[in-house]
Amino acid sequence: MRFTVAIDGPAAAGKGTISKQVASHFGFAHLDTGLIYRATGARVLAGENAVPAAQGLRAEDLQRDDLRTPDVAQAASKVATIPEVRNALVQFQKDFAARDGGAVLDGRDIGTVICPDADVKLFVTASDAVRVERRFLELSEKGIDVTREAVQADLKARDTRDSERQTAPLKPAADAILIDTSDMGIEEAVAVAINVVQSKWRN
């Protein structure tokens, strides 16, 4: 059985939590595609060139504990503008999406490029202020030392770079369902997403 859920949206909109919980509710596998760009960015910060870093990515690169830092996020969004980097990472994501038993992938270009035929496409957004506050709390809880101003600058720079790049820019697929989570708690946002997936599942 194949069933693919594509979840895209700007930084810190709630995609990660929604994706994890949708996957666990339906028993699907989950891939946070941002992690593979972050792992590539981390290898570049360690001195490698971006294209060989992406081509040589290994499973253990995704286990590094510094992938959530703002420095790595910036490096990720820079390598993500390079078409050869994106090309190197496409097949792994497509294979993951096609696995037996159902898959949820979250990122920026899942509904538009990686899985244009996904069974469900969601585009998750929230206001700038809400996203800054959520990411600030998330990083602070992880013990990462940041200010709200630094988080705001990181999100703004990445959203602009991600939306304006030539290859696979951040944008909703024409057939994506928009979920604005600005005025929702995370449980409500997860429930909305589960309802949408349920309506398409085994119909």
Site residues, ligand CDP (CB under 6 A): 11-12, 16, 33-34, 37-38, 73, 76-77, 80, 107-109, 158, 162
- The three-state (H, E, C) secondary structure of the chain, written as one string: CCCEEEEECCCCCCHHHHHHHHHHHHCCEEEECHHHHHHHHHHHHCCCCHHHHHHCCCHHHHHCCCCCCHHHHHHHHHHCCCHHHHHHHHHHHHHHHCCCCCEEEEECCHHHHHCCCCCEEEEEECCHHHHHHHHHHHHHHCCCCCCHHHHHHHHHHHHHHHHHCCCCCCCCCCCCEEEECCCCCHHHHHHHHHHHHHHHCCC
CB of 158 to ligand CDP, least distance (A): 4
Nearer residue to ligand CDP within complex by CB, 78 or 102: 78
CB of 89 to ligand CDP, least distance (A): 8
Q: How far is the CB of 202 from ligand CDP (least distance, A)?
A: 27
Minimum CB distance to ligand CDP smaller for 16 or for 172 = 16
Min. distance of Cβ 26 from ligand CDP in angstroms? 21
- Of 60 and 202, the one with the shorter C-beta distance to ligand CDP is 60
